[in-house]
Amino acid sequence: MAFQEGSQLPTEGLEFSYIPIDLSDLSLINPLKCDTTSKLKLSNLLEKLSNSDSPNLVAVSVPGAFTPTCTENHIPPYLENLGKLIDKKVGAILVLATNDPFVVNAWGKLLIKEFVKINDDNKKLPEIIFASDGGFSEKYGLAGDRGGIIRNKRYAAIIDSRTGDVTYLGVETERGVDKSGVDAVLSKL
């Protein structure tokens, strides 16, 4: 099976190492409090979403945590536009980076603290999951050699949890953020 637009997401055996981030009180998120890692089984996440009223999963992949483009331009607009993503029935945002789960988790917590605004309208926030890619993207041709290290390409995908279909896959072919940015994703939701 391939990971491509219009096909089902290949979820068999697909799991990611991550450390859950509790969004119920943003002020309690501490990037220097390190926990042990858990496994995220993607089929379980999709099943949970398919039974909710926010069935869309947005997956965003970046070459590296704490790198300039990813940290300054790519992920922050997603976190600043959670309200719009909620309105488009996004139940979870999965950020995948090449790094190990400790680094991805610390990066995620810092970005959430910096860019997620206090939720005034009391809308239920989507799950925000920062996970270590662990070879998934490479398996589907969505990673490449960057200076001796295999790093994820920058891309974003929308998965409809009710069908399991990849309804959008935008892969960047040049530097910068265009097809994988939050505006492109919102226009496809």
Partner 1 sequence: MSSEDFPTSPSPKYIPFSEEHESIVSCGAPVDLNLKSLFKDSTIVIASVPFAFSPTCTEEHIPDYIKHIDQFKSEGVDKIIVLSASDPFAMSAWGKALGVKDPANYIIFAHDVDLGIAKALGSDYIADLSKGGLGVRSQRYAGIIENGEIKYLESENELNFTEISSAETLLKRL
Q: Does 42 bind partner 1 (CB under 8 A)?
A: no
Plot region of 82 (φ>0 → left; ψ -120 to 50 → alpha; else → beta): alpha
Contact pick of 50, 67, 119, 167 for partner 1 (by CB under 8 A): 67
Least Å distance, CB 187 to partner 1, is 26
Verify whether residue 34 is a known catalytic residue: no
Q: Does 100 bind partner 1 (CB under 8 A)?
A: yes
Q: Does 111 bind partner 1 (CB under 8 A)?
A: yes
Q: Which residue among the candidates 46, 60, 70, 131 is catalytic per the annotation? A: 70
Contact pick of 10, 20, 31, 77 for partner 1 (by CB under 8 A): 31
- Please state the three-class secondary structure of the chain as a single string: CCCCCCCECCCCCCEEEECCCCCCCHHHCCCCCCCCCEEEEHHHHHHHHHCCCCCEEEEEEECCCCCHHHHHHHHHHHHHCHHHHHHCCEEEEEEEECCCHHHHHHHHHHHHHHHCCCCCCCCCCCEEEEEECCCHHHHCCCEEEECCEEEECCEEEEEECCCCEEEEEEECCCCCCCCCCHHHHHHHC
Binding mask of the shown chain, residues 157 to 186, with x at each position contacting partner 1 by CB under 8 A: ------------------------------
Q: Does 26 bind partner 1 (CB under 8 A)?
A: no
* Residues that contact partner 1, how many (by CB under 8 A): 29
Least Å distance, CB 67 to partner 1, is 5
Active-site residues: which are they? Answer: 70
Contact residues: partner 1, CB under 8 A: 17, 31-32, 34-37, 64-68, 71-72, 99-103, 105-107, 110-111, 114, 132, 134, 148-149
